[in-house]
Structure 1
Amino acid sequence: MAIPEFVLALRAKIGHDPLPLPGVIAVVLDEQGRVLLVRRSDTGDWALTTGCLEPGEQPAAGAVREVYEETGMEVAVERLLAVEALDLSVAPNGDQVYWLSIGLRCRVLGGDARVNDDESVEVGWFDPGSVPPLPPHQARCLELALSGDAAAWIAGTGEGTPR
Protein backbone atom coordinates (compact mmCIF):
# COMPACT_ATOMS: atom_id res chain seq x y z
CA MET A 1 0.00 0.00 0.00
CA ALA A 2 1.42 3.36 -0.99
CA ILE A 3 1.56 5.65 2.03
CA PRO A 4 1.56 9.36 1.10
CA GLU A 5 4.82 11.21 1.83
CA PHE A 6 3.10 13.64 4.22
CA VAL A 7 1.81 10.70 6.30
CA LEU A 8 5.29 9.14 6.38
CA ALA A 9 6.69 12.46 7.64
CA LEU A 10 4.04 12.65 10.36
CA ARG A 11 4.54 9.01 11.32
CA ALA A 12 8.28 9.68 11.75
CA LYS A 13 7.29 12.14 14.51
CA ILE A 14 4.31 10.42 16.14
CA GLY A 15 4.93 6.75 15.47
CA HIS A 16 1.78 4.60 15.44
CA ASP A 17 -0.30 7.05 17.55
CA PRO A 18 -3.80 7.95 16.29
CA LEU A 19 -3.79 10.31 13.33
CA PRO A 20 -6.91 11.99 11.94
CA LEU A 21 -6.96 11.84 8.14
CA PRO A 22 -9.48 12.84 5.46
CA GLY A 23 -10.40 10.14 3.00
CA VAL A 24 -12.73 9.63 0.06
CA ILE A 25 -14.94 6.75 -1.01
CA ALA A 26 -15.78 6.76 -4.72
CA VAL A 27 -18.90 4.92 -5.83
CA VAL A 28 -18.30 4.51 -9.57
CA LEU A 29 -21.32 3.52 -11.65
CA ASP A 30 -21.30 2.70 -15.35
CA GLU A 31 -24.03 3.15 -17.98
CA GLN A 32 -25.51 -0.27 -17.10
CA GLY A 33 -25.78 0.66 -13.41
CA ARG A 34 -22.93 -1.63 -12.36
CA VAL A 35 -20.58 -0.62 -9.56
CA LEU A 36 -16.78 -0.73 -9.80
CA LEU A 37 -15.02 -2.62 -7.01
CA VAL A 38 -11.41 -3.41 -6.21
CA ARG A 39 -10.07 -6.43 -4.34
CA ARG A 40 -7.65 -4.96 -1.81
CA SER A 41 -4.12 -6.34 -1.72
CA ASP A 42 -3.82 -5.89 2.06
CA THR A 43 -6.98 -7.78 3.11
CA GLY A 44 -8.19 -9.59 0.00
CA ASP A 45 -11.63 -8.04 0.50
CA TRP A 46 -13.68 -6.38 -2.21
CA ALA A 47 -14.21 -2.65 -1.64
CA LEU A 48 -15.20 0.59 -3.27
CA THR A 49 -12.29 2.75 -4.38
CA THR A 50 -10.98 4.66 -1.37
CA GLY A 51 -8.02 6.84 -0.56
CA CYS A 52 -6.39 9.51 1.53
CA LEU A 53 -6.61 13.14 0.46
CA GLU A 54 -3.35 15.01 0.01
CA PRO A 55 -2.94 18.27 2.00
CA GLY A 56 -5.07 20.97 0.36
CA GLU A 57 -6.64 18.54 -2.13
CA GLN A 58 -10.35 18.93 -2.76
CA PRO A 59 -12.41 15.76 -2.14
CA ALA A 60 -13.71 15.56 -5.72
CA ALA A 61 -10.20 15.88 -7.15
CA GLY A 62 -8.97 13.25 -4.69
CA ALA A 63 -11.71 10.81 -5.68
CA VAL A 64 -10.94 11.26 -9.39
CA ARG A 65 -7.22 10.75 -8.69
CA GLU A 66 -7.74 7.66 -6.52
CA VAL A 67 -10.07 5.98 -9.02
CA TYR A 68 -7.57 6.52 -11.82
CA GLU A 69 -4.58 5.41 -9.71
CA GLU A 70 -6.28 2.21 -8.57
CA THR A 71 -8.37 1.22 -11.60
CA GLY A 72 -7.27 3.19 -14.67
CA MET A 73 -10.81 4.58 -15.02
CA GLU A 74 -11.47 8.24 -15.76
CA VAL A 75 -14.48 9.52 -13.81
CA ALA A 76 -16.37 12.69 -12.95
CA VAL A 77 -17.89 13.32 -9.54
CA GLU A 78 -21.67 13.77 -9.66
CA ARG A 79 -22.65 14.39 -6.05
CA LEU A 80 -21.90 14.09 -2.37
CA LEU A 81 -23.22 10.91 -0.74
CA ALA A 82 -22.11 10.89 2.89
CA VAL A 83 -19.82 12.49 5.46
CA GLU A 84 -18.85 10.43 8.49
CA ALA A 85 -16.12 10.19 11.11
CA LEU A 86 -15.16 6.52 11.35
CA ASP A 87 -14.09 4.61 14.44
CA LEU A 88 -10.39 4.17 15.10
CA SER A 89 -8.80 1.76 12.62
CA VAL A 90 -5.47 0.03 12.96
CA ALA A 91 -3.42 -0.82 9.88
CA PRO A 92 -1.48 -4.12 9.67
CA ASN A 93 1.71 -2.19 10.51
CA GLY A 94 0.14 -0.80 13.72
CA ASP A 95 -0.61 2.71 12.45
CA GLN A 96 -3.81 4.07 14.02
CA VAL A 97 -6.12 6.33 11.98
CA TYR A 98 -9.35 8.20 12.57
CA TRP A 99 -10.75 8.63 9.05
CA LEU A 100 -13.10 11.44 8.10
CA SER A 101 -14.86 9.66 5.26
CA ILE A 102 -16.38 11.59 2.35
CA GLY A 103 -18.48 9.47 -0.01
CA LEU A 104 -18.93 10.64 -3.61
CA ARG A 105 -20.94 9.26 -6.52
CA CYS A 106 -18.97 9.14 -9.77
CA ARG A 107 -19.80 8.43 -13.38
CA VAL A 108 -17.47 6.88 -15.92
CA LEU A 109 -15.88 9.10 -18.56
CA GLY A 110 -13.56 6.51 -20.08
CA GLY A 111 -10.86 3.92 -19.60
CA ASP A 112 -10.66 0.17 -19.18
CA ALA A 113 -11.04 -1.14 -15.63
CA ARG A 114 -7.82 -2.85 -14.58
CA VAL A 115 -5.46 -3.20 -11.66
CA ASN A 116 -3.42 -0.02 -11.96
CA ASP A 117 -1.29 -0.04 -8.78
CA ASP A 118 -0.20 -2.27 -5.91
CA GLU A 119 -3.20 -1.47 -3.71
CA SER A 120 -5.44 -3.92 -5.56
CA VAL A 121 -5.13 -7.44 -6.92
CA GLU A 122 -8.36 -7.44 -8.94
CA VAL A 123 -10.84 -4.92 -10.36
CA GLY A 124 -14.37 -5.73 -11.48
CA TRP A 125 -17.83 -4.48 -12.32
CA PHE A 126 -20.71 -5.83 -10.23
CA ASP A 127 -24.47 -5.65 -10.55
CA PRO A 128 -25.74 -4.00 -7.35
CA GLY A 129 -27.50 -7.22 -6.30
CA SER A 130 -24.29 -9.25 -6.50
CA VAL A 131 -21.91 -6.92 -4.65
CA PRO A 132 -19.86 -8.83 -2.07
CA PRO A 133 -20.15 -7.71 1.57
CA LEU A 134 -18.73 -4.23 2.14
CA PRO A 135 -17.83 -2.40 5.35
CA PRO A 136 -20.93 -0.61 6.72
CA HIS A 137 -19.81 2.90 5.73
CA GLN A 138 -19.09 1.74 2.17
CA ALA A 139 -22.39 -0.17 1.94
CA ARG A 140 -24.16 3.02 3.05
CA CYS A 141 -22.44 5.02 0.30
CA LEU A 142 -23.42 2.44 -2.31
CA GLU A 143 -27.03 2.44 -1.11
CA LEU A 144 -27.14 6.24 -1.28
CA ALA A 145 -25.57 6.26 -4.75
CA LEU A 146 -28.23 3.87 -6.04
CA SER A 147 -31.16 5.68 -4.43
CA GLY A 148 -33.02 8.47 -6.16
CA ASP A 149 -32.50 10.68 -3.12
CA ALA A 150 -30.05 13.48 -3.87
CA ALA A 151 -29.66 14.43 -0.20
CA ALA A 152 -26.35 13.56 1.41
CA TRP A 153 -26.26 11.56 4.64
CA ILE A 154 -24.27 13.32 7.34
CA ALA A 155 -23.45 11.42 10.51
CA GLY A 156 -24.50 12.98 13.80
CA THR A 157 -27.21 15.25 12.43
CA GLY A 158 -29.87 13.74 14.67
CA GLU A 159 -31.77 12.26 11.77
CA GLY A 160 -31.84 8.84 13.40
CA THR A 161 -30.38 5.63 12.14
CA PRO A 162 -28.46 5.93 8.88
CA ARG A 163 -30.28 4.53 5.88
Structure 2
Amino acid sequence: MATPDFIRDLRIAIGSELLWLPGVTAVVFDDEGRVLLGKRADNGCWAVIGGIPEPGEQPAETAVREVYEETAVRVVAERIVLVESVPPVRYPNGDVCQFMDVTLRCRAVGGDARVNDDESLEVGWFTLDALPELDDYALTRIKRAVEAGPSWFQGQGEAPQG
Protein backbone atom coordinates (compact mmCIF):
# COMPACT_ATOMS: atom_id res chain seq x y z
CA MET A 1 0.00 0.00 0.00
CA ALA A 2 1.22 3.50 -0.72
CA THR A 3 2.37 5.37 2.37
CA PRO A 4 0.09 8.34 3.13
CA ASP A 5 1.79 11.73 3.50
CA PHE A 6 0.82 12.05 7.18
CA ILE A 7 2.73 8.86 7.97
CA ARG A 8 5.78 10.07 6.04
CA ASP A 9 5.67 13.23 8.15
CA LEU A 10 5.49 11.15 11.35
CA ARG A 11 8.42 9.03 10.22
CA ILE A 12 10.57 12.16 9.93
CA ALA A 13 9.98 12.74 13.64
CA ILE A 14 10.16 9.17 14.98
CA GLY A 15 12.35 7.36 12.49
CA SER A 16 11.68 3.62 12.16
CA GLU A 17 10.24 3.19 15.68
CA LEU A 18 7.00 1.25 16.17
CA LEU A 19 4.05 3.19 14.80
CA TRP A 20 0.54 2.14 15.91
CA LEU A 21 -1.94 2.66 13.06
CA PRO A 22 -5.52 1.93 12.15
CA GLY A 23 -6.09 -0.30 9.15
CA VAL A 24 -9.23 -1.22 7.24
CA THR A 25 -9.74 -4.41 5.26
CA ALA A 26 -12.61 -4.83 2.81
CA VAL A 27 -13.87 -8.31 1.96
CA VAL A 28 -15.91 -7.60 -1.16
CA PHE A 29 -18.52 -9.95 -2.60
CA ASP A 30 -20.43 -9.63 -5.85
CA ASP A 31 -23.99 -10.84 -6.55
CA GLU A 32 -22.62 -14.27 -7.51
CA GLY A 33 -20.89 -14.72 -4.14
CA ARG A 34 -17.40 -14.28 -5.55
CA VAL A 35 -14.75 -12.43 -3.55
CA LEU A 36 -12.61 -9.62 -4.96
CA LEU A 37 -8.85 -9.99 -4.53
CA GLY A 38 -5.80 -8.07 -5.62
CA LYS A 39 -2.32 -9.36 -6.40
CA ARG A 40 -0.06 -6.96 -4.50
CA ALA A 41 2.73 -5.17 -6.34
CA ASP A 42 4.96 -5.09 -3.23
CA ASN A 43 5.12 -8.85 -2.66
CA GLY A 44 3.36 -10.53 -5.60
CA CYS A 45 0.81 -12.25 -3.33
CA TRP A 46 -2.96 -12.33 -3.65
CA ALA A 47 -4.75 -10.50 -0.83
CA VAL A 48 -7.98 -8.90 0.30
CA ILE A 49 -8.18 -5.17 -0.29
CA GLY A 50 -7.19 -2.79 2.47
CA GLY A 51 -5.48 0.38 3.52
CA ILE A 52 -4.93 3.09 6.09
CA PRO A 53 -7.64 5.64 6.86
CA GLU A 54 -6.86 9.27 6.19
CA PRO A 55 -7.03 11.40 9.37
CA GLY A 56 -10.70 11.81 10.34
CA GLU A 57 -11.93 9.23 7.80
CA GLN A 58 -14.45 6.65 8.98
CA PRO A 59 -13.67 2.93 8.44
CA ALA A 60 -16.53 2.44 5.96
CA GLU A 61 -15.34 5.45 3.96
CA THR A 62 -11.83 3.99 3.93
CA ALA A 63 -13.12 0.65 2.63
CA VAL A 64 -15.09 2.30 -0.17
CA ARG A 65 -12.17 4.54 -1.14
CA GLU A 66 -9.48 1.84 -1.00
CA VAL A 67 -11.50 -0.68 -3.03
CA TYR A 68 -12.20 1.89 -5.73
CA GLU A 69 -8.61 3.21 -5.79
CA GLU A 70 -7.15 -0.28 -6.15
CA THR A 71 -9.77 -2.07 -8.27
CA ALA A 72 -12.22 0.47 -9.84
CA VAL A 73 -15.07 -1.44 -8.16
CA ARG A 74 -17.74 0.59 -6.32
CA VAL A 75 -18.85 -0.92 -3.00
CA VAL A 76 -21.03 -0.32 0.02
CA ALA A 77 -19.98 -1.51 3.44
CA GLU A 78 -22.50 -3.93 4.96
CA ARG A 79 -21.14 -4.88 8.39
CA ILE A 80 -18.13 -5.22 10.63
CA VAL A 81 -16.62 -8.68 10.30
CA LEU A 82 -13.86 -8.46 12.91
CA VAL A 83 -11.65 -6.12 14.87
CA GLU A 84 -8.15 -7.34 15.63
CA SER A 85 -4.73 -6.06 16.59
CA VAL A 86 -2.27 -7.76 14.25
CA PRO A 87 1.40 -8.50 15.05
CA PRO A 88 3.95 -5.78 14.24
CA VAL A 89 5.37 -5.72 10.71
CA ARG A 90 8.95 -4.71 9.90
CA TYR A 91 9.28 -3.35 6.37
CA PRO A 92 12.43 -3.70 4.24
CA ASN A 93 13.39 -0.08 5.00
CA GLY A 94 13.37 -0.87 8.76
CA ASP A 95 10.08 0.87 9.62
CA VAL A 96 7.93 -0.99 12.14
CA CYS A 97 4.12 -0.69 12.20
CA GLN A 98 1.38 -2.42 14.12
CA PHE A 99 -2.18 -2.20 12.87
CA MET A 100 -5.56 -2.34 14.58
CA ASP A 101 -7.54 -3.84 11.71
CA VAL A 102 -11.25 -3.29 11.22
CA THR A 103 -12.49 -5.71 8.58
CA LEU A 104 -15.75 -4.90 6.80
CA ARG A 105 -17.89 -7.08 4.58
CA CYS A 106 -18.69 -5.08 1.47
CA ARG A 107 -21.00 -5.56 -1.49
CA ALA A 108 -20.04 -4.56 -5.02
CA VAL A 109 -22.52 -2.14 -6.59
CA GLY A 110 -20.73 -1.09 -9.78
CA GLY A 111 -17.56 -0.85 -11.80
CA ASP A 112 -15.51 -3.47 -13.58
CA ALA A 113 -12.63 -5.02 -11.65
CA ARG A 114 -9.29 -3.89 -13.05
CA VAL A 115 -5.93 -2.69 -11.83
CA ASN A 116 -6.63 0.94 -10.96
CA ASP A 117 -3.35 2.05 -9.33
CA ASP A 118 0.24 0.98 -8.85
CA GLU A 119 -0.45 -1.10 -5.72
CA SER A 120 -1.76 -4.14 -7.62
CA LEU A 121 -0.42 -6.32 -10.41
CA GLU A 122 -3.79 -8.00 -11.02
CA VAL A 123 -7.30 -7.93 -9.60
CA GLY A 124 -10.07 -10.45 -9.99
CA TRP A 125 -13.17 -12.17 -8.71
CA PHE A 126 -12.83 -15.66 -7.25
CA THR A 127 -15.33 -18.27 -6.17
CA LEU A 128 -14.80 -19.49 -2.62
CA ASP A 129 -13.92 -22.98 -3.87
CA ALA A 130 -11.26 -21.66 -6.30
CA LEU A 131 -9.29 -19.10 -4.31
CA PRO A 132 -5.65 -18.49 -5.21
CA GLU A 133 -3.00 -19.10 -2.55
CA LEU A 134 -3.73 -16.73 0.33
CA ASP A 135 -2.14 -16.13 3.72
CA ASP A 136 -3.96 -16.78 7.02
CA TYR A 137 -4.78 -13.08 7.35
CA ALA A 138 -6.85 -13.08 4.16
CA LEU A 139 -8.37 -16.53 4.71
CA THR A 140 -9.53 -15.63 8.22
CA ARG A 141 -11.18 -12.46 7.00
CA ILE A 142 -12.93 -14.17 4.10
CA LYS A 143 -14.14 -16.98 6.37
CA ARG A 144 -15.53 -14.52 8.90
CA ALA A 145 -17.16 -12.42 6.18
CA VAL A 146 -18.99 -15.46 4.81
CA GLU A 147 -20.39 -16.34 8.25
CA ALA A 148 -23.71 -14.77 9.16
CA GLY A 149 -22.72 -14.55 12.81
CA PRO A 150 -21.87 -11.51 14.88
CA SER A 151 -18.63 -9.57 14.59
CA TRP A 152 -15.59 -11.47 15.84
CA PHE A 153 -13.17 -10.03 18.38
CA GLN A 154 -9.88 -11.71 19.27
CA GLY A 155 -9.63 -12.45 22.98
CA GLN A 156 -13.28 -13.40 23.31
CA GLY A 157 -12.59 -17.07 24.06
CA GLU A 158 -11.68 -18.21 20.56
CA ALA A 159 -8.31 -18.35 18.85
CA PRO A 160 -8.01 -16.83 15.36
CA GLN A 161 -8.45 -19.32 12.55
CA GLY A 162 -6.96 -19.28 9.08
The one-character-per-residue Cα deviations of 1:94-150 (angstroms, maximum 9, x if unpaired) are: 21100101110000110010100110010011111111232323211100111222x
Where do residues 89-100 of structure 1 align in structure 2 (5 Å cutoff)?
89-100=89-100
Q: State the match for 2:160 in structure 1.
A: 162
- The Cα of 1:55 is off from its aligned counterpart by 1.3
Amino acid in the other structure paired with 2:92? P
Q: How does 1:39-118 map to 2 (within 5 A)?
A: 39-118=39-118
Q: After superposition, where does 1:128-147 map in structure 2 within 5 Å?
A: 128-147=128-147
Secondary structure of 1:39 counterpart: strand
2:151 maps to: 152
**Structure 1: which amino acid aligns with 2:159?**
T
Segments of structure 1 that go 5 or more residues without pairing to the other structure are none
Unaligned runs of 5+ in 2: none
Correspondences of 1:18-33 after superposition (within 5 Å):
18-33=18-33
Between the aligned partners of 1:52 and 1:118, the Cα distance in structure 2 is 16
Q: Secondary structure at the match of 1:11?
A: helix
Deviates more, 1:83-92 or 1:39-48: 83-92
Deviation (angstroms), 1:20: 0.5
The TM-score with structure 2 as length reference comes to 0.95
| TM-score normalised by length of structure 1 | 0.94
TM-superposed deviation, 1:56: 1.3
| Structure 1 residue aligned with 2:37 | 37
8 Å contact kept, 1:25–1:138? no
Partner SS for 2:76? strand
- Checking the alignment, whether the CA contact within 8 Å between 1:84 and 1:102 is kept in structure 2 is yes
Quote the Cα distance in structure 1 between the aligned partners of 2:61 and 2:68: 11
Q: What's the C-alpha RMSD, in Å, of the aligned pairs? A: 1.1
Q: What are the superposed Cα offsets for residues 7-28 of structure 1, whole Å, 9 maximum, x if unpaired?
A: 0000011111110010011000
Instruction: Give distance in 2, aligned partners of 1:91 and 1:72.
Output: 27
Task: Count matched residues.
Answer: 161
